[in-house]
Structure 1
Amino acid sequence: MTSFTSAKLCFLPYCLVIFLFVSSPNWVAFPSATSTSHTEAEALLKWKASFFPNQALNNLTWYDLPTHNINATNSSSTNPKPRTSPCTWTGVSCNSARSVNKIELVNRGLQGTLHEFSFLSFPNLEYLNLTSNKLFDAIPPQISNLSKLHHLDLSQNQFSGRIPPEICLLRNLKFLHLSWNNLLGEIPKEIGNLKSLVNLELSHNNLSGAIPPNIGNLINLNTLYLHNNQLSGLIPKEIGNLKSLVNLDLGNNQLNGSIPASFSNLSNLEILFLRDNQLSGSIPQELENLKNLILLKLDTNQLSGYLPRNICQGGKLTNLSVHTNYFTGPIPKSLKNCKGLFRVRLEQNLLTSNISEDFGVYPNLDFMDMSHNNLYGEISHNWGQCPNLKTLRMARNNLIGSIPPEIGNATKIHVLDLSSNHLVGLIPREFRKLSSLERLMLNGNQLSGRIPSEFGSLTDLDYLDLSTNKFSDSIPSILGDLLKLYHLNLSNNKLSQAIPLQLGKLVQLNELDLSHNSLEGSIPSAMSNVKSLLTLNLSYNNLSGSIPSSFEEMHGLSYVDISYNHLEGPLPNIKAFQEAPPERLEGNKGLCGKVGALLPPYNAHGSKKDHKVISVLAVFVLLSALFIIVFLIMQRKKKHQDTKQNHMHGEISFSVLNFDGKSMYEEIIRATKDFDSIYCIGNGGHGSVYRVNFSSGDVVAVKKLHMLWDGETKFQKEFLNEVRALSEIRHRNIVKLYGFCEHKRHSFLVYEYLERGSLAVMLSKNEEAKELGWSKRVNIVKGLAHALSYMHHDCLPPIVHRDISSKNILLDSEYEACVSDFGTAKFLRATPPICP
């Protein structure tokens, strides 16, 4: 009886609850869908009210709630109905229970924070996408209350501060996108707890520190983007555990060390970007196992060694970028059969390969750059069979032979750069078919013949550099039809006759260099029509007459060099001429004007008389100089006791090429592979001479001095003598000194590079000696006479060379003579030379 009574009593509360629920429809024991919807609507409106007012809010159709009780009964029904619901609002979706499960407000112009967003009010939210707005400040840690969230995208905003560790409590997250913000600090170490993650994108922030090794726990990860941050340290080998990974980008950080060999486990990987870091060592050969690889970018690191031989083993590779590293050895043979290649960048390495054998035909290839390497061989005919090729760059290698005419079949090509090689022969007439060509660089070769008139069909050309070749005859007038040209460089060739009037039609031209040719006649007045011209170099030609007065209308001209011609008359009254230093005007017979160069004032009435006086003086100086040459040659075997000179302490400060000393030293060592004999172009009693190609495009000669420490005093005296002389004097017929290094390991002098070497070497070879006709030999004697006259009469104190011989006379491409080797030179007073 007692037990029965107890049972009844215990059952009564449950009966009461059921009774209350059934008999009282206005009483609700748990929140209904209606009340949840009402709470979510209020929360959204409160968040909207925190936004900065702007036009974007007018398009956000979130209506205010009614002021009366939203649960009041309707006269026509006993069921409560809200007057409004967020489920119909812009960017808001609900589940079947009319509770908000998705908010997607992409590119709505929202400007505000998340501080007024009530995360607790959205217990069923699964999808939150606020990308491409102007939301700022920190991401609140309360975001962890969105326990059902599986997609979170806050990218392309202005969020700052750290990634809250609480975000790693969202165990259902599959997509986490926080890219393109201002987030900083470390990636939370708890990131490894988000084991459901499929896509993790934290790129384009200011994140720092190391990549957490437990990121290797995210075994479902398909995409990992951490690029464009400030992450440092080693790449965790645990990333090799992410066998589902398809896309991996760690580029543009400060990561160091080597590429983990564990990456070979990423058999599904299609994209691997490690570019712009500080990675070193070689590429693991195991990366050949990544047969699904489509895009591989390892450029701009410090990687070395050989490229994997079977880098295209899977045959799917379309994009290969390994430029700006220290890779050596051959180009992988597997690239020849990698037909899907679209973009290849191998430039700025130390690759050695015969490129006539390494490449095939690629139907999709758009971009190929293998510049700045040690590649050799002839240019393959196959490039003309790449129908979609738009850019082909092979500059600064050791390519030989002629340009194959088949390149003319690559009719879509926009950029062709074959500069700084050893190419010979004519420019193929088939170039006329390259109607899409915009930039053509053939400079720094040994191409010859005429500049083809077929260039007239290259109407899209805006950049043309044919300098430092052996082109002859006249400048084709048809170049004046290339109306898009903004850069034209034909310098250092053998071009003759007059400057075509048609060049005055190039109204887009910014830079014109016709220097170091044999052009004659007057400067066309039509050139003044080129109002856009900034740089004009006509130096070292045979131009005569006066400078057209219409040049005074060229107010944009900022650099002009007309030196060493036969020009006369007044200089135009514009800044480019007024502020030109003397060396850009010298070597003419009758220029005048009151400008920075301090030329004599113009006197039209006395010009003929002055010219006669100048001519007589010129003959007198020439005869005097020739006498001095004979005298010095007779005396060169006599020994002279040199007066004692005080030792020069410290550095001699001068700059010609504006090189940073340390960087120039490092580049010389790298370019010559620590003075490897293959770069040596001559040997002498005091040192060996090397040709050095700088990455900037400059070519210099470096004389590395023999370090004979038993004769250290004599060596040091001659070294400093050379530096002292050449650091002060400047003359067309004296070799230019660009810099020097005095060190126990390497002491060397950096000179301008003169293509034909010494007169002694030329005279010792029958074929080359035959090229030195009497006119050239007389020109060499004149140049030597000018140099000696300058040293003896124009320098204060005068300089006596004391070692003039054919070994110390260097010739440029036009057989112009330059005096070198001032190690035994003597100054007639102890003060430094002052030369005009």
Structure 2
Amino acid sequence: MATTSLSISIPILAIWAIWILLCRKCLDNALQQLVVAASGSSHALQLKQAKALQETGWWPSTTHAQASSNYSSACHWDGITCNAGGSITTIDRFDQGLRGQLIKLKFSFFPNLVSLDLRWNSLTGCIPLEIGILKNLVYLRLSFNMLVGPIPSTLGHLTNLNTLGLSRNKINGFIPPGIGMLKNLTFLYLFSNMLVGPIPSTLGHLINLEYLDLHQNKINGFIPPEIGMLKNLTSLNLSLKMLVGPIPSTLGHLTNLEYLDLHQNKINGSIPPKIGMLKNLISLYLSSNMLVGPIPSTLGHLTNLNTLGLSRNKINGSIPPVIWMLKDLSYLNLSHNFISGKILIALWMIAPLLTLDLSYNNLTGNIPSSLTSIDRLDLSHNSLEGQIPNGYDLYHTSHTLKGKKSIITEIKTFVPISIFLGFLFGGCIFLSRCVFKKNQIESKGSKNGNIFSIWNYDGHIAYEDIIEATEDFDIRYCIGTGGYGSVYRAELPSGNVVALKKLHQREAENLGFYKSFINEVRVLTEIRHRNIVKLHGFCVHKGCKFLIYEYMERGSLFCVLRNVDEAMELDWSKRVNIIKGTAHALSYMHHECIPTIVHRDISSNNILLNSDFQALISDFGTAKLLDPNSSNQTLVAGTYGYIAPEFAYTMTVTEKCDVYSFGVVALEVLMGRHPGELLSSLSSSSQNMMLNEILDQRLPPPNRLIGQEILLVATIAFACLHTQPKSRPLMKCVSQEFLSPRKPNVIPLTRISLLQLRKQASYVAGSGFAYC
């Protein structure tokens, strides 16, 4: 029985094995057919995609020719990226001069498209409804074109969208409520269009939104309270001119907000105290509205605030003292309101303000002496008493103040000092003592003034004191050598330390160098600026000629950048401030001095740093006072590597020579070394480098806030380095750009190439700065 059973089961097993083998072969054939079919389908899709791209006309004809025999080569076209299967995932034609309409791009052929970037072109027409079929789209960037028509409602179908950029077009109609369905949206840029209607409350559903910019549209109505639900929002710009109603208190829930701009609307009511809950806020703009009531003291909780603009409202009450205690506040504008009371500020309370505008209010009392450190100050049209203290480093415009006796007093916070130098050329050249010019401005409490009290010195310093302090100019006291002399450190009997720039004996007897010496005296005695080295006096004695300057503890910028330890101490914030200070000084020389002063030798060697790392321009031996009635032709002067390229074919001196040199210095400060190699290779592969790659690698990467400043500096630097002098910006524009509040940049430095930077610099140079 067992034998019979076994004999039956053997054939069954054999049949079963044969059947399995046959099925496996069938399965293999089926799979192979599926692979072939898929391959054919993939190839067909690649063919369709390449042909669709070709028909747009957005790629060069040479690319078309290469693709005619093998359309799969579209994956290798400029700006195209494909996945492993050969399907296009990225189309990037940023700033390629494209024309035509978006409808030319057949969206149905790109089911796997993740990123579409067509910014900075000349595209026209509407955004097609078909764009809504791109279900995998994450980045849609169409800004800076000439697109018209409404925002298609089908954009609400793109639920994977992270970035939507449609700004700087001519798009009209309403913001579709369906935008609120884009739950993954992080960046929404719709500014500078012709959009109308209210802000849809559905935007409050965008829980991942970090950046919302709707400014420069025709949007009206109220600010929806639902905006307060955007807990991840870091930047909100609704400066639209037509918004009404109060500021919703729900904005106080946006605890991650860094930038809030509601200026130029018709917003009324008071400033909600809950705004003080925005602990991360850096910039707050509420100017040009119809706000009433006092400034809430809760604004004193905004410890990161850098910019506060409340001008042109109907705000009343006094200025809360806590405002002056904001440690990062650099810009404060409360002008054109009904603010009253005194400016209650103590020296220890003063914020690091660069700009303070309290004009056109009802302020009374004395002007605090602690205001001397502010670069841009306007107290006009109030009922204040007294004068702005004699701050020799101030360079503000003129203002008028109304005193209690209704006397209008014009205060010029910078008074040019004119010094008659005839005695230097006449009989007084035989003086055996160093003569110091008395200041023409009276200063209280300076009866026993000395050379450090802004030219209030009321006597002479004995030549013997100088000789004794330097041991007859012993080399041990020499701290540097310039173009026509050496610089010595001298501690005077009073304990004050000065720097002495002494002409070498041979140069002292040379008429040409003597003229440079006289030129430096002439220039420096007629200017006074916080970022220009101060000349305390000069000496002509028995063939010995020297200038007496304030002493700069840290020496030249050149030396600091080349010393590893000192360069690391020179962090990003200090570096940006050095560049800004240099720009302010050049702006003053070019645009506030009469006649215009051109330095002609701006370099890192001629920028000195004091103990606080403040930059001061020095060495005016080659400076030239421009005569508007002459050609201003001269011999080439300056330092190799900083001289403007036009000197290769012209001898004419203009302010633009200094502008070019400033651009070189600005890049040198960012890079930590002279940018010569970079400048000579910008036409090659270095253009593909990212901005962060050229920064001084000895320092840690900058944070987001200082990164924004670095981007501005780099953009301005490249604009200043334009080969055509007329295309370079004016230094007053550069200075104002540095002083003016800015909108935050959300693009990290790691994603900004030098090519993009240069294009932006060309755009800036061609269109002018926003604040000039």
Name the TM-score, length of structure 1 as normaliser: 0.46
Between Structure 1 and Structure 2, which shows a larger proportion of helix residues? 2
Higher relative contact order (CA 8 A, sep 6+): 2
Name the TM-score, length of structure 2 as normaliser: 0.50
